[in-house]
Structure 1
Amino acid sequence: MKKAVVNQAECVACGVCEKNCPRKAITIFHGIYAEVNEDLCVGCKRCQKVCPASVIQVVQKEVAS
């Protein structure tokens, strides 16, 4: 299962990812960094493509059993 992951230390909290996420899975917290709700993320890579700081990657995540 693929999910978006944000490098929060490098995130500039511009909000582009939040605005472009079709599932509303990304939220900007306190104007400091973006956070991904893994329950909503479907790994579409739209946020990764639009991130001007290139701090979002869509990666394979383990499924909890």
Structure 2
Amino acid sequence: MRIVTDTGRCVGAGQCALTEPRVFDQSDEDGTVVLLTDQAEGEVLNNVQEAIDLCPSQALSLKED
């Protein structure tokens, strides 16, 4: 699965980076989401899905490769 972010919608809440720090980080400049990788599978995919569910601005999604 490919992870997609919309930095225009991101409010910098940081739930994604707290939920899965192997995939998500935050910009030092404005706190918006930064992807460390755009691919996920297994346990990481489960955590990415949790981050998507927790995102208050709905700035995260998954797409089929």
TM-score normalised to the size of structure 1? 0.72
Amino acid at match of 1:60: E
Structure with the larger strand share: 1
The alpha-carbon distance between structure 1 residues 39 and 11, as it changes in their structure 2 partners (threshold 3 A), is closer
The Cα shift of 1:18 comes to 0.5
Whichever of the two has the greater Rg, that structure is 1
Q: 1:39 to 1:58 in 2, by over 3 A?
A: closer
Aligned counterpart, 1:11:
10
Runs of 4+ in 1 over 2 A off after TM superposition: 39-44
State how far apart, in whole Å, the 1-side matches of 2:16 and 2:61 are. 12
> Which ranges of structure 2 fall in alignment gaps of 5 or more residues?
none
What percent identity do the matched residue pairs reach?
A: 14
The offset of 1:39, in angstroms, is 6.1
Larger proportion of helix? 2
Q: What is the CA RMSD across the aligned residues, in angstroms? A: 2.0
- When the two structures are aligned, how many residues end up with a matched partner? 59
Distance 1:25 1:54 in 2: 17
